[in-house]
């Protein structure tokens, strides 16, 4: 199979990840920090190693404010729900994934907040000027994805971060399609809370998300339970990271994340160049096929290219690519309905191709030939 669905989850898992996961499964089968025996302490040390690795990767303020969660969605829920104030105004955009849209819309429906969803420009980007123009007296949060999972557009979060800081707003960034693909620096980009998964750009395994936050932007916990600390108390501890990690953690995935970051530090620059070349080949090649409409921005860091055919629904296009040509991609609304409505593709959806550095030029040629065939149906 030609795997072009890396924006959903990376198909390739590096040896460093597999070895770390296997080691944890075989040698660290204990609950981190919940007991005092050697295995539990060793598991806790592995978790601490992961916090240090993540903090270094994204230039977080302190490893203590690196929190592990079920996935990026749960990390974003903690960031958003743990940061709202009743009656506040929040700035977001039409480009967002449902992991941002649904919490915000639920809060708005309950009349707890008001939200402004900014419209992308002609390059599918969110204008920093529009962010500043949308600020009200009661605005407290700016919540944006770094890179659109539909168009691949990369927003200027550094400038937006400066605007947020200047106006004393909390800046929450969804790094699902950027961490592991493009540079993310919480200090330089003035990011207050950053959420991302292990299993996409970093090529870790599924079932793990991260939320990193600055000390003055600590969210309130939204899940309560056992933390292994202050067990005599019936209220949730306030110390980070324990306050945010109730219950048993996914230690194999956490160990795998350490391996993933090691692999990324060793290969990231070279892999980025390969990924950009492959995505550009697809972007340019699709523009030569009659009846193909490319809606993606020419930002190739993410490896995302989305398109639709004049003569075929996107779900059917994806099915034909899968069934006849053994090519895996993602079709539909990509859990981002507002950007599809903005693009006019809410009915037929888009076919999203997302490459990684482990894909090849030969696979790209095979894909382009397949799309050319389908366009003649």
CA 252 to chain CA mean position, Å: 20
pLDDT in tens, 174-190: 999 999 999 999 999 99
Q: Which of 355, 334, 178 is nearest to 281 (CA)?
A: 355
Token duo for residue 140? 């407290």
pLDDT band at 260 (very low <50, low <70, confident <90, very high): very high
Q: 91 pairs with which residues across the strands?
A: 116, 142
Token duo for residue 365? 């040629």
pLDDT band at 273 (very low <50, low <70, confident <90, very high): very high
Task: Kindly tell me if the per-residue pLDDT of 226 is higher than 90.
Answer: no
d(CA 350, CA 18): 33
94: left (phi over 0), alpha (psi -120 to 50) or beta: alpha
Quick one: pLDDT at residue 199? 98
d(CA 247, CA 8): 27
Three-state secondary-structure class, residue 159? helix
Task: Kindly tell me if the per-residue pLDDT of 230 is higher than 70.
Answer: no
In DSSP notation, 222-247 reads S--S--SSSTT-SS---STTGGG--S
Whether 146 contacts 175, CB under 8 Å: yes
Angstrom CA distances, 238 to 67, 149, 229, 373, stand at: 13, 34, 10, 59
CB count in 10 Å sphere of residue 26: 9
Whether 240 contacts 65, CB under 8 Å: yes
Q: Which of 243, 214, 329, 262 is nearest to 68 (CA)?
A: 243
């Amino acid at each position: 199979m030609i795997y072009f669905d890396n924006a959903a989850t990376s198909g390739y898992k590096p040896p460093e990840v597999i070895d770390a996961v296997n080691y944890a499964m075989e040698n660290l089968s204990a609950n981190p920090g919940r007991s005092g025996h050697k295995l539990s302490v060793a598991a806790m040390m592995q978790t601490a190693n992961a916090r240090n690795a993540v903090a270094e990767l994204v230039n977080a303020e302190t490893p203590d404010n690196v929190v592990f969660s079920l996935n990026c969605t749960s990390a974003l829920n903690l960031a958003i729900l743990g940061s709202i104030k009743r009656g506040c105004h929040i700035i977001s955009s039409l480009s967002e994934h449902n992991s941002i849209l649904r919490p915000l819309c639920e809060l708005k429906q309950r009349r707890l907040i008001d939200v402004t969803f900014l419209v992308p420009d002609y390059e599918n980007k969110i204008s920093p000027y529009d962010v500043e123009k949308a600020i009200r007296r009661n605005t407290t949060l700016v919540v944006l994805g770094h890179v659109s999972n539909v168009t691949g557009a990369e927003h200027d979060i550094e400038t937006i971060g400066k605007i947020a800081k200047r106006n004393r707003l909390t800046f929450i960034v969804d790094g699902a399609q950027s961490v592991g693909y493009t540079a993310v620096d919480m200090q330089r980009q003035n990011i207050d809370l950053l959420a991302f998964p292990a299993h996409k750009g970093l090529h870790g395994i599924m079932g793990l998300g991260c939320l990193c936050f600055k000390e003055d932007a600590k969210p309130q916990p939204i899940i309560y339970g056992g933390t292994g600390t202050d067990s005599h108390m019936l209220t949730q501890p306030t110390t980070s990271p324990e306050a945010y990690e109730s219950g048993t953690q996914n230690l194999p995935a956490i160990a795998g994340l350490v391996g993933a970051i090691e692999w990324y530090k060793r290969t990231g620059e070279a892999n980025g160049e390969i990924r950009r070349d492959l995505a550009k080949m697809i972007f340019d090649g699709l523009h030569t096929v009659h009846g193909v409409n490319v809606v993606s921005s020419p930002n190739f860091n993410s490896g995302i290219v989305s398109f639709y055919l004049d003569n075929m629904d996107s779900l059917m296009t994806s099915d034909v690519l899968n069934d006849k040509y053994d090519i895996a991609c993602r079709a539909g609304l990509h859990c981002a309905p507002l950007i599809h409505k903005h693009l006019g593709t809410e009915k037929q959806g888009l076919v999203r191709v997302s490459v990684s550095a482990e894909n090849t030029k030969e696979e790209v040629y095979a894909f382009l030939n397949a799309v050319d065939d389908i366009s003649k149906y």
